[in-house]
A and B are shown apart, each in its own frame.
Chain A
Amino acid sequence: MIQLVWLIPLLPLIGSVINGLFGKRMGKTAVGLVACVAMVASFLISLSIFIKILSLPVAERSVEVTVFNWITSGAFKLDVTFLIDPLSTIMILIVTGVGSLIHIYSIGYMHHDKSFWRFFCYLNLFVFFMLMLVLGANYLVMFLGWEGVGLCSYLLIGFWYEKKSASDAGKKAFVVNRVGDFGFILGLFLLFWSLAGHGITSLSYKEVFANIHHLDPSMLTIITLLLFVGATGKSAQIPLYVWLPDAMEGPTPVSALIHAATMVTAGVYMIARNNLLFSLAPYTGEVVAVVGILTAFFAATMGLVQNDIKKVLAYSTVSQLGYMFTAVGVGAYTAGVFHLMTHAFFKGLMFLGSGSVIHAMGGEQDMRKMGGLHGHMKTTSWTFIIGAIAIAGMPPFSGFWSKDEILWETFEKGHHYIWALGLLTAFLTAFYMFRQVFMTFTGRCRADHHTQHHLHESPKIMTVPLIILAVLAATGGIIGIPFFEEGTAAHHFLNSVFSSGQHVVNHAVAGGGHVANAAGESEAIHGGLELIMMGVSVAVGLFGIFLAALLYYEPMKKFAPSFWTPENLAARFKGLHTLLYNKYYVDEIYDALIINPIKRLCWYCWRFDLGVIDGIVNGAGWVTRLVAWLMHKFDVYIVDGTINSSATFVSWTSSFWRRLQSGYLQNYALVFVIGLLLIIGGALLGW
C-alpha cells in the first residue's frame, strides 16, 4: 500500500490538468466531479496508508519511497522520493481530508462563477504542491512544493483579478512571501554548503539529519534562523504576517483551505520536520517561541475590533499559527502538530461557515450589517458555534486539548511569561470569537430589506462538509487525551519522528541541572498541576465568552453595567481602539519605514545627481560634458548595440549563409567535393 504513495499527489495533479485543459468545455458538473473524485480518491489512499502505518511496529514507521530517479550525473543524484512517516501521514490526512471537504463545498460556493473550471484547476494544483511539500523526503522536493503552493496561493488570492483590491492583495502576498522565501533559500544553501564541506552532497532528510552533528552550533543557529524567516513568510508571523488578512480577497474556500487549514501551516510543518536542527539551535527555538507568542497576542488584539467576518477569522488564524510556533519553539513539536490538526478542522469549518453566511447575505462581509442569522440558517450557525467553542478552548472540543497542551508544555518547560501571554491570548480569542458569533447569528437582523428577503440556508453540498467538519472539530481532540501511559495518542504516534529532537532538548535540560527527581513523585505533582492549569484556561475562556455575551448578546445585555457597551468602550478607550482598528498601523509603518525610505532614497539619489554631480559637471566645463557624451554614446552604441546587434548579426549571418543553398545541383556537388578535399587535406597534414 505504501508503495502507492505517488498516487496521492498525482491524482490532484491529473485533476488539475484535466480541468485546466478541458474544463472550459466540460461543464460545471463534470469539472467539480473530476476535482472532487481526485481529492477523495487521494484521501482514501492516504487513509489506507495511515492504517497501514498504524499496523507497523513503531521502529518501521518511516518508509522512503523513491518514485523515480530524475537525473544522475556523476556524483550528483536527484531523486523524487516520498517519505511516509507519522508526521507526513498526519499532514496528508489533513490536506486531503479537509481538502476533499472544501472541494465539495466549493462546488456549491463557486457555482455561479464563470471561471469555475479555473478555480478547480488551481485548487487541485495547490493540493498537488502541498502534498509534494509534506511528502518530500528531501529538501528539494519540499522546496518545489513550497514554491508551488506560494504560486497557487498567489493565483487564488487574485482569482477575481478584475477587482483591483484582489489583484493588489495577490501582489502583496507574492512580494511578502518572496522576502520570506529569500531567507528560506539562503538557509537551504547555507545548509548544503556547510554540509558539503563535510562531504555530504545528498539533500535527503535522512542524510542531513544523520550528519547534522558535523556542523557547529553557531552555523546551525544561522541556518535555522534563516529557515524560520521563510516560515514567518509562509505562515504569516511577525513581521511578515501582513499579507494574510489581505489574502481574504480570495474566494472563501481558498481562505479555508490555503489560508487557514493547510498552506499557512507549512512553516510549522517545516520546523517540526527539522526538529533536530531546531533543537540543536536553542537560541533559534527561543526566537521562534517569542515571535510565535507575540504574533498570537497581537493578532488576537487586532481581531477584537474587526468588523469584516473574514478578517476576524484571518487574524484569528494568524494568532493560532502563533500558538503553533510557540509550541514548536519550546520544543513541544507534538503539541504544535496536534494544534495544527485541530486548527485545520475548526478554522476550516469557520471559514466555510462564514462563506455560507456571505453566500446567504449576497456577498456582504460586514458583521455590522448581519445579525439574527440563526433563525435563517440553522446548520451554518450551529456548526459555526461548534467551531467557535472549539477555538475558544472549551472542553471537550478539540481546541481545548490542543491549546491546553501547548500552554501546559510552555509552562512545564519553564517559559512562564510566554505561558501568561498565551493565557491572555486564549481569553482574547474566546472574546472575539464569541463577539463574532453573537454579532452574526443573534439579535436583530441589520441587513437591508432586500438582503433579508433573500436569506436562505446554503444547499446540501455546502452544509454537509460543514457538518462533517463540525464533528471533527468537536471530537478531533480525542487523540490528545492522555489514554496511553507514555502520553497522549498523538504523542504515541508522533514520538518516533520527534524523538531525536526531543532527546536533544531533554539532554540540554538535564545538562543544565534541571534533573527531574524521582520520576513518580514529579509525575504526580505534574498531573495535579496540569489539571489546575486546565481549569485556569477554561475559566479564562469562559470569562471571555461571558464578556462578549454582555456586550453583544441581546438577552445578556441587560445584565451589563451601563458603560459596558461596544460604543462606550470604544469611546472610552478611543486611542487603543483606533490603534487596534488600524491594526497598529503596521501597514503604514512598513510604508513609512521601508517602502517610503526606499522611494525617498531614490529621490535623494536623483537630487544628489541633479544638484551635486551636475554642479560638478557644469563647473568642470565641457571636458566633463564630453566624457558624459562619450559615456552616453558608449551606452547607446556599445551596451544597447551589443544586444541589438547580436540579434542583427545572427540574422545577417543567417541570410549570408543561406546563399550557399543556391538551389543549383552542381553547386551542391561542388561544395561537397571541396569539403571532401578539405578533409583529405586536413588529414594528410595530420590535423
Chain B
Amino acid sequence: MTNLLNINYYAVAPELVLIGFAFLVLILDLLLKGRDKAVLGYVTAFGLLVSIPVSYFTNEPVSFSGMVAADSFSAFFNIVFCVAAFLTTLISMDYMKKAKADRGEYYYITLFAVIGMMLMASANDFVNLYAGLELMALSFYVLVAFKINDNKSVEGALKYFVLGALSSGILLYGISFLYGYAGSTNFAEIARAASAGSSQNMFLILGVCLTVAGFAFKVALFPFHLWSPDAYEGAPTPVTALLSVGSKAAAFAVFLRFFAGSLAVLQPHWAMLIWVFSAATMLYGSVVGVSQKNIVRMLAYSSIAHAGIILIGLLVTNDKGSSGVLYYLLVYAFMNIGAFSVITLFVRNNGKGANICDYKGLASKRPWLAFFMALFMVSLAGIPPTGGFTAKFFILASAVNSRYYLLAGIAVVSTVISLFFYAKVIFYMYMKEADDASVFTASPGAALYNVVIVISAVATVLIGIFPSVFMDMAVQAVKPLLM
C-alpha cells in the first residue's frame, strides 16, 4: 500500500508553478496601485511561459496512487494550454482596458482556468478529473461574466453557468454509476472491470452515457452545444479565444484518455454514438455558421464544426486517429487564436467590429491585418499550405484508413459548406470598400496584438509546411494511451 500512496510533487510541477504565479499575481494585485497594475499581465504571461518547459520535462506516468498520469500525453496538452493562455493573455491586456474591465483578478483567474485544464489532461481518476474540470469551469464562468457592465457578457455567463452546472451534475451522476460498476473511480480500474465484465451492464451503460454527455457539453457537441454561441458572443473576446481552444482541448484530452485509452476495448459499443455525434456536430456547425452575421458567433459555429471533425480522430482508436486529434488541436489553437486576435483588435464596446460586414475594405486600409486574417480563414477552412489543411488531411486519412468512408465524406461536405462563411470574411475584406474606416484605427496597445497575430500566423503556416515534425510530436504524445 505504501508504494501506491506515492505523493510525488514532480508530477504536478507545471500546476504548482502556475499556482505559485497565480498567488503572486493575486498578491501583486493587492499591493500595486494604479498604473503599476499593468505589470500583472506580463507576470501572468511570464508564468505561462515558464510552465511550458516545466510541462515538457515532467514525466511521472504513475503518481498519487495512480490518480495523476503526468506523461507525454499530458505534457503535449499542457503546452497547448500554456501557449493558448499565453497568447490570449497578451491580447487581453489592451482589450480589458478598452472594455473598462481592467481588473487584476482577470489574470489569476485565467491562471486557475489553465491549472484546471492541466489537471484534466493529467487526470487518471474521476475524482481529480472532476476537481480539475470544476476549477476550469468555475474560472470560465467568472471570466465570461468579466464585463459586468455589459448585458451580453452577464447573460452569456448566466446561461453558461446554469447549463454548465447541469452538465456537471449529469457528469457526476454518470461517474457515480461508473463507480458503482467498477468499485473505483480510477480509469485503469474501470477499464479492467469493463474488459472483464459484460458490456451490457446497466450501470456501465448509464455511466458511460452520462459522462459522454458531460464531456460533450464541454466540447460543444450537437445537441449539447447550445451554450457555446451565446457564451462566446457575450464573453470578452480574448476569453472566447481561450474558451474555444483551451476548454475544448482539455475536454478532448479527457475524451482521449478515457475513451480511446481506457475504454478502447468497448470501442465497438460506443463507436456508433460518437459517429452520430461527429456527423451531426460538423454538419450543424457548418450549416448554421452560414447564416451568421456576427463574426464571433460565426467562429463559435466554426468551432462546433471543427469539434465534429476532431471527433473522427477519437472514433479511430489507433495511433493515427489519436495523434491526428492532438495535431488538429495544436493547429486549431494557433489559427483560432490568430483570428480572434484580429477581432479583438477591432471590436469596440459599442458593438462595432463584431459583425462580418464591419470588416469591409480592411485590405485597403490595413493590408497586413487583412492578409493575416485571410490566412487564418484559409487555414480554418482547410486549404493548403496551411496547418488547417494538413490537420484535416491527417484526420480524414485516418478515417479512410479505418474505413469510415461515409463519415469522411460528411466531413468533406461540411468543410465545403463552411467555406461559405470563411470566404465571406475574405470577400468582405478584399472585395468591398470601407464605409467607415474609423473602425480600423489602431488602439495604443496594438503592438501586443501584432506579436500574437504574427506568432499565430507563422505557427499556422509552419505547421502546414512541416507537418511531419509536429506529427512526430503528436505520435510521441499518444504513445502512453495506446499501451
Which residues of A are in contact with B by a Cβ distance under 8 Å?
21, 68-74, 650-651, 653-655, 657-658, 660-661, 663, 665, 667-669, 671-672, 674-676, 679-680, 682-684, 686-687
Contact = CB atoms under 8 A, between A and B. Distances in A.
B348 interface: no
Contact of A672 (B158, B166, B208, B394): B166
Contacts of A687: 269, 272-273
B468 A69 contact: yes
B407 interface: no
Nearest to B397: A73
A668 B368 CA distance: 40
| Residue among B230, B290, B371 with max Cβ neighbours from chain A (10 Å) | B290
B226 A654 contact: no
Nearest to A681: B209
B197 interface: no
B354 interface: no
9 contacts: A69-B468, A654-B289, A654-B290, A658-B291, A661-B226, A665-B158, A665-B163, A679-B213, A687-B269
Interface string B448-467: 00000000000000000111
A70 B467 contact: yes
Contacts of B205: 680, 683-684
A71 B397 CA distance: 11
Given A650-B420, A672-B167, A687-B273, A680 B287 contact: no
Given A660-B226, A671-B223, A687-B272, A676 B170 contact: yes
A667 B417 CA distance: 27
Contacts of A71: 390, 393, 467-468
Interface string B272-296: 1100100000001001111100000
A680 B206 contact: yes
Nearest to A655: B291
Nearest to B467: A71
A657 B287 contact: yes
B296 to A, nearest CB: 14
B210 interface: yes
B227 interface: yes
A683 B417 CA distance: 31
Interface in B26-54: none
Contacts of B261: none
B194 interface: no
Interface string B302-317: 0000000000000000
Contacts, number: 96
Given A676-B210, A680-B209, A683-B209, A669 B163 contact: yes
B227 A679 contact: no
B159 interface: yes
Contacts of B427: none
Contacts of B255: none
B229 interface: yes
Contacts of B276: 682
A658 B222 CA distance: 13
A658 B230 CA distance: 12
B8 interface: no
Nearest to B367: A21
Contact of B273 (A72, A671, A683): A683
Given A663-B230, A674-B223, 8 more contacts: A650-B290, A654-B291, A657-B288, A660-B226, A671-B223, A675-B222, A680-B209, A683-B205
A618 B401 CA distance: 57
Contact of A669 (B162, B273, B394): B162
B107 interface: no
A132 B170 CA distance: 58
B224 interface: yes
B288 A668 contact: no
A586 to B, nearest CB: 40
A644 to B, nearest CB: 14
B422 to A, nearest CB: 14
Contact of A665 (B162, B208, B209, B222): B162
B16 to A, nearest CB: 36
A21 B288 CA distance: 36
B166 A669 contact: yes
A290 B276 CA distance: 65
Contacts of B162: 665, 669
A658 B288 CA distance: 6
A671 B228 CA distance: 14
Contact of A679 (B167, B209, B229, B287): B209
Contacts of B393: 71, 73
Nearest to A663: B230
A143 B209 CA distance: 53
Contacts of B210: 676, 680
Contacts of A672: 163, 166-167, 213, 217, 223-224, 226
Interface in B100-145: none
Given A679-B213, A683-B208, A668 B468 contact: no
Nearest to A73: B397
| Residue among A70, A653, A676, A684 with max Cβ neighbours from chain B (10 Å) | A676
A654 B287 contact: yes
B263 to A, nearest CB: 13
B287 A671 contact: no
Interface in B218-273: 222-224, 226-227, 229-230, 269, 272-273
A73 B213 CA distance: 33
Contacts of A671: 223, 226
Contacts of A686: 200
Given A669-B162, A682-B273, A661 B417 contact: no
B190 interface: no
Contacts of B163: 665, 668-669, 672
A69 B393 CA distance: 15
Contact of B213 (A68, A70, A74, A676): A676
Nearest to B212: A679
A74 B467 CA distance: 15
Contacts of B371: 21
Nearest to B199: A686
B371 to A, nearest CB: 8
A74 B401 CA distance: 9
Nearest to B269: A687
Contacts of B467: 70-71
A218 to B, nearest CB: 37
A72 B394 CA distance: 10
Nearest to B401: A74
A657 B284 contact: yes
A68 B166 contact: no
A674 B200 CA distance: 23
B343 to A, nearest CB: 20
Contact of A70 (B269, B417, B468): B468
Given A72-B468, A654-B288, A687-B273, A668 B159 contact: yes
B290 A651 contact: yes
Interface in B379-433: 390, 393-394, 397, 401, 417, 420
Contacts of A682: 272-273, 276
Nearest to B394: A73
Contacts of A684: 205
B320 to A, nearest CB: 9
B37 to A, nearest CB: 35
A209 B205 CA distance: 60
A672 B163 CA distance: 8
A498 B222 CA distance: 63
Contacts of A653: 287
A285 to B, nearest CB: 39
B209 A668 contact: no
Nearest to A647: B420
B168 to A, nearest CB: 12
Nearest to A660: B226
Interface in B158-211: 158-159, 162-163, 166-167, 170, 200, 205-206, 208-210
Contacts of B287: 650, 653-654, 657
Interface string B355-382: 0000000000000100100000000000
